[in-house]
Amino acid sequence: MSAVTGPAPAGVPAAETLGARDRRPDPVQVRCAVLANEPDGAYRRLVLDAGEAARRALPGQFAALAVGEPPTAMLLRRAVSIHAATPGDRRFDGADTLEIVVAPHGPGTEWVTRRRAGDVLDVVAPLGRPFPAPEVGAPTVLVGGGYGSAPLVWLARDLRDAGHRVDVVLGAASRDKLFGLEEAAAVVGPDLVHVTTDDGSAGLRGRVTDALAPLARDGVVVYACGPMAMLRAVHEVAAGAGGTSWLAVEESMACGIGVCMTCVLPVRGEDGVTRMTRSCVEGPTFDGDRVRWDAISIGPGGATSAVPADCLGAPVAAGKGH
Binding residues for another protein, rule: CB under 8 A, are 15-16, 26-33, 49-53, 66, 71-77, 96, 122, 124, 251-252, 254-255, 257-262, 264-265, 275-276, 281, 299-301, 304-307, 311-315, 322
Smallest gap from residue 82 Cβ to another protein (A): 15
Smallest gap from residue 265 Cβ to another protein (A): 7
With a CB cutoff of 8 Å and minimum separation 6, the contacts of 220 are: 138, 139, 140, 141, 238, 241, 242, 243, 244
Smallest gap from residue 46 Cβ to another protein (A): 14
**Residue 118 or 163 with smaller CB distance to another protein:** 118
- 159's enclosing H/E stretch is helix 152-161
**Residue 219 or 258 with smaller CB distance to another protein:** 258
**Residue 195 or 253 with smaller CB distance to another protein:** 253
- Identify the CA nearest to 82 among candidates 60, 103, 104: 60
With a CB cutoff of 8 Å and minimum separation 6, the contacts of 227 are: 145, 146, 148, 250, 302, 303
Question: Phi/psi of residue 67, each to 5°?
Answer: -125, 150
Smallest gap from residue 207 Cβ to another protein (A): 24
With a CB cutoff of 8 Å and minimum separation 6, the contacts of 86 are: 54, 96, 97, 99
**Residue 49 or 183 with smaller CB distance to another protein:** 49
Contact predicate 261/228, CB 8 Å: no
Smallest gap from residue 1 Cβ to another protein (A): 24
**Residue 213 or 316 with smaller CB distance to another protein:** 316
- Identify the CA nearest to 142 among candidates 102, 187, 78: 187
